[in-house]
């Protein structure tokens, strides 16, 4: 009996120990830190910020695709800049369907060119993406957070990996939870980061199934507010493949907490937005966000963005610092 007790407590002790060790190892192995370039390129963050501010002064709508670009980078091979690569055969991530509406690659190029002038070969393209996503949210009066840096750039871009790793607007809640979980993100992260849909656009083909003959009875998606469905049908005819739709109508250029209210009123644009109500836990995170004030959402968003920014990073001697974000070094 005593022996058994001993074995059990020893087992628990070992588990705690190995857990402590592995979380320590994790933070070490990551090799990311706030201010990674403080010594090697002190102006790095300022230079990136300037590029984003200049570009968005001319076109505020760039903020949304720049945030989305970082998300799409991180979910495919980790946050290592693979979304930026151009392959001659076009079989790169950029050409995968979920990435066709990404914009703003020239802003990344501009920031990178300015960085190469200031301190050649020091700042990675993947870090530029991480910084740009934050700076773009600041321009939209959204949250700010301290961006960990120290990522290095990957060498591979693969169109089919983008297709299989990026969540689809048609996904149900169990797929979404699984996909986020596989990237080390939990249900709260899923809900909080979905709040990114407070800015920017979707397009008709992502929702026409919800508007026309959803269950084969000539109806719309029962999880979509019927009044909203009626107004969406006026914008999206069944075969429309091009028209853009504001995800947060009227405030698509303003980063605010209105997304959670929209979704709770069954006015989330995508099935993947509506799906957040289909699981007890994600639903309660969603309703909590709705009831809390803006500062809670902003703080949570920053925390989840930092977490997302750690997915699959390359650090230390892994990968490389690309000279040109669109191609691996020769
Ligand atoms: C939960 C799974 C998600 C799905 C299924 C999803 C899906 C989509 C889709 C289909 C679009 C429309 C793109 C277009 O037609 O131009 C979109 C837009 C957008 N998404 Fe997501 N998304 C998800 C999560 C996220 C996350 C985690 C973020 C960032 C934190 C994000 C940020 C955005 C932004 C900012 C836009 C607007 C882009 C623009 O205006 O060009 N999304 N998303
Ligand atoms: C891209 O990824 C897929 C799936 O992992 C793999 O089967 C394929 O060989 C890869 N393509 C290239 C060119 O490496
Ligand atoms: C969710 O989608 C996945 C993949 O399409 C499917 O296998 C699963 O049965 C769906 N789950 C529910 C509850 O509808
Ligand atoms: C709606 O879907 C049902 C079942 O798939 C089909 O029989 C019917 O023709 C469709 N109606 C329209 C208007 O497309």
- For 113-148, the pLDDT digits (tens) are 999 999 999 999 999 999 999 999 999 999 999 999
Residue 27 lies in a domain: no
Q: Angle, to 10 degrees, between the axis of helix 105-118 and the axis of helix 125-139?
A: 120
Question: What is residue 244's three-state secondary structure?
Answer: strand
178 lines ligand 3 (CB under 6 A): no
Counted domains in the chain: 2
**Atom 8 of ligand 4: nearest residue by CA position:** 216
Residues noted as catalytic? 72
Residues 152 and 180 reside in one and the same domain: no
Residues 161 and 261 reside in one and the same domain: no
Ligand nearest to the CA of 82: 2
Residue 153 lies in a domain: yes
CA distance linking residue 132 with residue 112, whole number of Å? 11
Residue 11 lies in a domain: no
Check residue 252 and give its pLDDT.
84
Residues 89 and 105 reside in one and the same domain: yes
- Cα-to-centroid distance, 225 and ligand 2 (Å): 41
Residues 122 and 161 reside in one and the same domain: yes
Mean pLDDT of the chain: 93
- Cα-to-centroid distance, 74 and ligand 3 (Å): 24
Which tokens in the block code for residue 58?
């001319």
213-269 pLDDT per residue, tens = 999 999 999 999 999 999 999 999 999 999 999 999 998 899 999 999 999 999 999
The residue segments making up the domain with residue 272 are: 173-305
Last residue of a domain, one of 165, 188, 219: 165
218 lines ligand 4 (CB under 6 A): yes
Residues 88 and 136 reside in one and the same domain: yes
Residues 58 and 155 reside in one and the same domain: yes
Identify the CATH number of the domain in which residue 134 sits: 1.10.520.10
Nearest residue to 77 (alpha-carbon basis) of 167, 149, 166, 192: 166
Check residue 196 and give its pLDDT.
98
Residue 15 lies in a domain: no
Helices H / strands E in the chain, number of each: 14, 4
Residue 117 lies in a domain: yes
Residues 98 and 187 reside in one and the same domain: no
Report yes or no: 144 and 302 within 8 Å, Cβ to Cβ. yes
Give residue ranges with CB within 6 A of ligand 2.
Answer: 158, 160-161
Burial 122-147 (b: 16+ CB within 10 A, else e): ebbbbbbbbbbbbbbbbbbebbebeb
CA distance linking residue 140 with residue 255, whole number of Å? 6
Alpha carbon separation from 50 to 47, 55, 75, 217 (Å, rounded): 5, 9, 27, 53
- Cα-to-centroid distance, 28 and ligand 2 (Å): 30
28 confidence band (pLDDT: 50, 70, 90): very low
**Atom 4 of ligand 3: nearest residue by CA position:** 175
Residues 96 and 58 reside in one and the same domain: yes
Identify the CATH number of the domain in which residue 207 sits: 1.10.420.10
**Atom 14 of ligand 4: nearest residue by CA position:** 213
Which tokens in the block code for residue 9?
């407590």
Residues 157 and 269 reside in one and the same domain: no
Q: Look-up: residue for tokens 């979910």?
A: 75
CA distance linking residue 304 with residue 74, whole number of Å? 13
284-323 pLDDT per residue, tens = 999 999 999 999 999 999 999 999 999 999 999 999 999 9
Residues 184 and 236 reside in one and the same domain: yes
Residue 221 lies in a domain: yes
Residues 262 and 196 reside in one and the same domain: yes
Residue 71 lies in a domain: yes
**Atom 11 of ligand 4: nearest residue by CA position:** 218
Q: Best of 164, 167, 171, 175 to mutate for ligand 3, by most ligand atoms within 8 A of CB?
A: 175
Nearest residue to 99 (alpha-carbon basis) of 52, 35, 161, 32: 161
Report yes or no: 119 and 47 within 8 Å, Cβ to Cβ. no
Which tokens in the block code for residue 321?
């610092």
Residues 161 and 178 reside in one and the same domain: no
Q: Look-up: residue for tokens 């980078």?
A: 73
Last residue of a domain, one of 139, 165, 191: 165
Alpha carbon separation from 5 to 10, 19, 166, 308 (Å, rounded): 8, 21, 47, 40
Report yes or no: 67 and 302 within 8 Å, Cβ to Cβ. no
Residue 21 lies in a domain: no
- Cα-to-centroid distance, 230 and ligand 4 (Å): 19
């Amino acid at each position: 009996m005593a022996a058994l007790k001993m074995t059990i407590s020893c087992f628990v002790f070992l588990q705690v120990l190995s857990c402590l060790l592995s979380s320590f190892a994790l933070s070490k192995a990551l090799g990311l830190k706030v201010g990674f370039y403080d010594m090697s390129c002190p102006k790095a963050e300022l230079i990136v910020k300037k590029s984003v501010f200049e570009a968005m002064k001319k076109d505020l709508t760039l903020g949304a695709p720049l945030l989305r670009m970082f998300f799409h980078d991180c979910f495919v091979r980790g946050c290592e800049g693979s979304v930026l690569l151009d392959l001659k055969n076009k079989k790169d991530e950029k050409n995968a369907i979920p990435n066709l509406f990404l914009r703003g690659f020239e802003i990344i190029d501009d920031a990178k060119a300015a960085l190469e002038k200031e301190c050649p070969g020091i700042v990675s393209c993947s870090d530029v993406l991480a910084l740009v996503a934050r700076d773009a949210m600041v321009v939209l009066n959204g949250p700010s957070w301290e961006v960990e840096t120290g990522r290095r750039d990957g060498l591979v871009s693969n169109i089919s990996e983008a297709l299989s790793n990026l969540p689809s607007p048609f996904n149900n809640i169990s797929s979404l939870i699984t996909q986020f979980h596989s990237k080390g993100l939990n249900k709260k992260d899923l809900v909080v980061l979905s709040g990114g849909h407070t800015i920017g656009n979707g397009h008709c083909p992502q929702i026409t199934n919800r508007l026309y003959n959803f269950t084969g009875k000539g109806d719309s998606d029962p999880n979509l507010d019927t009044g909203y469905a009626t107004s969406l049908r006026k914008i999206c005819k069944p075969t429309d493949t091009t028209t853009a739709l504001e995800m947060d109508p009227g405030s698509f250029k303003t980063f605010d907490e209105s997304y959670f209210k929209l979704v709770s009123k069954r006015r989330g644009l995508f099935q993947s937005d509506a799906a957040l109500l289909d699981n007890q836990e994600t639903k309660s995170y969603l309703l909590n966000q709705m009831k809390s004030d803006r500062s809670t959402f902003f703080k949570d968003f920053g925390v989840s963005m930092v977490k997302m920014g750690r997915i699959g990073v390359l650090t230390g001697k892994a990968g490389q610092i690309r000279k040109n974000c669109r191609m691996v070094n020769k």
